[in-house]
Amino acid sequence: MVEVQTLAPPSLFGQIAEHSHEQVVFCHDHETGLKAIIGIHNTVLGPALGGTRMWHYASDQEALNDVLRLSRGMTYKAAISGLNLGGGKAVIIGDAKTIKTEALLRKFGRFVKNLNGKYITAEDVNMTTKDMEYIRMETSHVAGLPETMGGSGDPSPVTAYGTYMGMKAAAKKAFGSESLAGKRIGVQGVGHVGTYLLEYLQKEGAKLIVSDYYADRAEAAAARFGAVAVGLDDIYDQEIDIYSPCALGATLNDDTIARLKCQVVAGCANNQLKDENEHGPELVSRGIVYAPDFLINAGGLINVYSEVVGSSRQGALTQTEKIYDFTLQVLEKAENEGTHPQAAATKMAEERIASIGKVKATF
């Protein structure tokens, strides 16, 4: 008889401890139907700032995984960008089309308020600046407000600028020149950030290939930027120099990496490597230069931070431009240390947290 072994699911505290999260808050309200989880990963550098995502998760476990993974990413993004922010994120469970109401958002705002500034929220998937206005009615610990309310507005143009800088740095490493003129670049996902990125790439004379979940969006981008639109799954098989993931995460995986013919991967999507420890080294072994996602997509966070500290959009763009130098540094460090760029970037972020943590150890 075959013995079937069942693995016990990890305990709740086991999951929270796995990546040393500081605090996880489960929020529930019967009246509005609010079910939310706030994940605070690390606040050594400052308050945990990260957006709230509204998503119809298949299970509570899936929502918890998402908030733990995303909040950890925010810690590293802030740390490597030199910001005095910690990492946090929130998820509201449910379909935005049916559950989102003013009352639900304001109730969520009260849970954020109760954290007394340890967590600052902002927009993420399925949340808008209008939703932030409702949350602002209950708490001041919210960023990403409209410019008319003194906020920093849409972060996407700044995210695109940083991604462009990171791509140029990776090109310098791979091709010996930062110029993208004549380079064949495949942009996967032509939403907010992807479209702004295409503007930069077109201006520089790149040859563009695009794909999007919505075929009409891909066609519209192709017409506007003189690009070729390809099918959803075909983007991985193109004869391109640079692959730019600007849609969802985990697109660098067992299936796709073997198909890539490019020498550079640089895009704005979060969590591009399905498994960092497996797919990071695999890209290196195939001679592909990978620009770490949380480093080159930090422009949006830098922009939101400008709202928290009261600086300007121009200040945010100037700081975002430094992503070029940081990316080159990370790529050099990875090569010198015989590791992959994502690991090198994570180590740099962890080193900054450790050293600044010591600064704060005394009054």
Residues contributing to the site for ligand NAD (CB under 6 A): 155-156, 159, 188-194, 211-214, 217, 232, 246-248, 268-270, 297, 300
Output the smallest distance, CB 187 to ligand NAD, in A. Answer: 9
Least separation, in Å, of the C-beta of 301 and ligand NAD?
7
Question: Nearer Cβ to ligand NAD, position 93 or 304?
Answer: 304
Transcribe 47-113 into DSSP letters: SEE--EEEE--SSHHHHHHHHHHHHHHHHHHHHHTT-S-EEEEEEEES-HHHH--HHHHHHHHHHHH
Residue with smaller CB distance to ligand NAD, 112 or 304 = 304
By C-beta, is 151 or 194 nearer to ligand NAD?
194
Q: Which residues pair with 36 in a beta bridge?
A: 27, 92
Which two structure tokens, joined as six digits, stand for 328? 């080159």
Least CB distance from residue 2 to ligand NAD, whole Å?
38
Beta strand pairing call for 86-93 and 34-42: antiparallel
CA angle 97, 101, 103 (to 5 degrees): 160
Cα(29)–Cα(104) distance, integer angstroms: 8
Q: What is the C-alpha to C-alpha distance for residues 90 and 141, in angstroms, rounded to an integer?
A: 13
Q: How far is the CB of 362 from ligand NAD (least distance, A)?
A: 35
Residues 6+ apart with CB under 8 A from 140: none
User: How far apart (Å, rounded) are the C-alpha atoms in residues 63 and 12?
Assistant: 13
Contacts of 97 (CB under 8 A, 6+ apart): none
CB 107 → ligand NAD: shortest distance, Å? 25
The closest of 190, 246, 193 to 218, measured between CA atoms, is 190
Nearer to ligand NAD, 39 or 300 (CB): 300
Decide whether 34 or 190 has the Cβ nearer to ligand NAD: 190
SS3 track for 173-216: HHHCCCCCCCCEEEEECCCHHHHHHHHHHHHCCCEEEEECCCHH
Nearer to ligand NAD, 138 or 268 (CB): 268
How many Cβ atoms from other residues are within 10 Å of residue 194's Cβ? Answer: 27
- For ligand NAD, the nearest residue by Cβ is 191
Active site residues per annotation: 89
In degrees and rounded to multiples of 5, residue 207 shows phi and psi of: -95, 120
Give the span between the Cα atoms of 218 and 228, in whole angstroms.
9
CB of 92 to ligand NAD, least distance (A): 16
- Tokens at 320, concatenated: 């975002």
Q: Residue 193 Cβ, how far from ligand NAD at the closest point, in Å?
A: 4
Residue with Cβ nearer ligand NAD (66 or 212)? 212
